[in-house]
Amino acid sequence: MEKINYYLKSLDIISSLEEKGEKPTLLLHACCAPCATYPLLFLIKYFQVTIYFNNSNIYPKEEHDKRLGELKKFLNDFMNKEKAQVQLVVTNYDYDKFKECLKPFASELEGGARCYVCFEKRLRDGFTYADKNNFDFFTTALTISSHKNAQVLNKIGANIEKNYKKTKYFYSDFKKKMGINIAREMRDSYGLYQQDYCGCEYSIYPKKHK
């Protein structure tokens, strides 16, 4: 299958906004502080950004709350440093319900069908929120991760977009053009906690579910 350069697609959207002289609103799904770093730095130049923390995939709740707490701390420090305003929306945590969608794919390797379902669910929730609340764009910071497939994520985003009238999907591949290096530098300079597993219990104990 032909690979699309989603980094270039993101630049196309930005140049068309610059031509029109617009700074639209954008809802950015983020799963943790380290993943939010560079996407936020990149996006605040062109958008009024609100972060959307919708991650009932994270197990256990203590870990979910730890990642959320770290994101709040990062946002506070980031806004002071960059003199920027960024809002944060947090959704209710319900791992047991979320797990029902993942369970049939428990033995899948990370990056396979289970993760597709997980991405799709979180992005669809985000799109629904964005559209209902009149955001111009929606996107996810997940494309910063070297463990996440930007081709898959952007295709999911483009498919979901078809169901909504107001909100457009912002294509991205934040890891490109040194994005991943800048994210790591920001993680270290802000002193952020970096988890060592993706989120669900199957990503903590993959061998147990084989």
Question: Sign of the C-alpha dihedral, residues 22, 28, 32, 38?
Answer: negative
Sequence letter at residue 174: F
Residue from 33, 44, 118, 156 in contact with ligand SF4 (CB under 6 A): 118
Rounded least distance, CB 67 to ligand SF4, Å? 12
Rounded least distance, CB 141 to ligand SF4, Å? 13
Determine the interface stretch with ligand SF4 among 61-69, 159-167, 177-185, 197-205 (rule: CB under 6 A). 197-205
Site for ligand SF4 contains 200 (CB under 6 A)? yes
* Nearer to ligand SF4 among residue 105 and residue 129 (C-beta): 105
Rounded least distance, CB 202 to ligand SF4, Å? 6
Name the nearest CA neighbour of 122 among 53, 185, 209: 53
Q: Give the count of residues interacting with ligand SF4 (CB under 6 A).
A: 11
d(CA 56, CA 60): 10
Site for ligand SF4 contains 68 (CB under 6 A)? no
Residue from 115, 130, 150, 156 in contact with ligand SF4 (CB under 6 A): 115
Site for ligand SF4 contains 130 (CB under 6 A)? no
Rounded least distance, CB 13 to ligand SF4, Å? 25
Residue from 10, 56, 57, 172 in contact with ligand SF4 (CB under 6 A): 57
- What are residue 94's phi and psi, to 5 degrees? -150, 80
d(CA 137, CA 155): 16
Site for ligand SF4 contains 143 (CB under 6 A)? no
* Nearer to ligand SF4 among residue 54 and residue 57 (C-beta): 57
* Nearer to ligand SF4 among residue 27 and residue 200 (C-beta): 200
Using only the alpha carbons of the chain, give its radius of gyration: 16
Give residues in contact with ligand SF4 (CB under 6 A): 57, 102, 110, 114-115, 118, 198-200, 202-203
